[in-house]
Amino acid sequence: MTIRPILRLRRQPSFNRSVEAVEKRLALEGRAINIRFLPELSAGSRKLYSHRPYGQPVYAATFIRKRQIVLDQALEHDSRELTRILIHELFHFVWVRLSNRHRKSFSVLLARELSEHARGELGWSAEMRKSRLPRTPQSAQHERGRWRDYVCESFCDTAAWFYSEIGRHKEFTLATRHRKRRGDWFRVTFSGGRIPI
């Protein structure tokens, strides 16, 4: 039986090999997601721009309802970083499909880290959001919107660390014992093999 690819790449044959490798590594299951590459991405005011002089430079953006990921063309020259960032973006779709029980258990894991005064993260996106939270789990969780954003970004950054198989990266600043606990969580949660997307 042939499995149809879930990740559809739009007119960018030079990226095919990297995208196909990510899809094989993750064993994704679900409706197709379209991937586009555009030059010089930036974001601001909840909008994505390409080749514009405004906004904050970004490498990627995900549009859940449209089932689309947009990546910066600069990633063409760095397959390692492309893999890491693409996995992060794909796990935004996984987060939406995750059960409330699993989301809660990941949130509890992060609250435990906060209570243990864990510093660092497994990606810039989560690190930035973590830095805006109060330093105690109770206070952080009272900031519901910020806490939810942090938990989601931390989930995606952790997935990128876990599945990209990149040993070292300047954005991997979380202590080893916390990484191990998160890795165990991913192993148990997705032990069935297929990852719903």
Q: What is the pLDDT of residue 54?
A: 87
Task: Give CATH for domain 7-97.
Answer: 3.30.2010
Domain coordinates in residue numbering, the chain: 7-97, 100-191
Residue 105: is it exposed, middle or buried by C-beta count within 10 angstroms (0-12/13-18/19+)? middle
Q: What is the pLDDT of residue 1?
A: 33
Q: What is the pLDDT of residue 3?
A: 42
Residues of the chain with pLDDT under 70: 1-5, 10-14
- CB-based contacts of 145: which residues, under 8 Å, 6+ apart? none
pLDDT digits (tens, 9 = 90+) for 47-73: 899 988 888 999 999 999 999 999 999
10 Å Cβ neighbour count for 62? 19
Q: What is the pLDDT of residue 155?
A: 98
Q: What is the pLDDT of residue 2?
A: 37
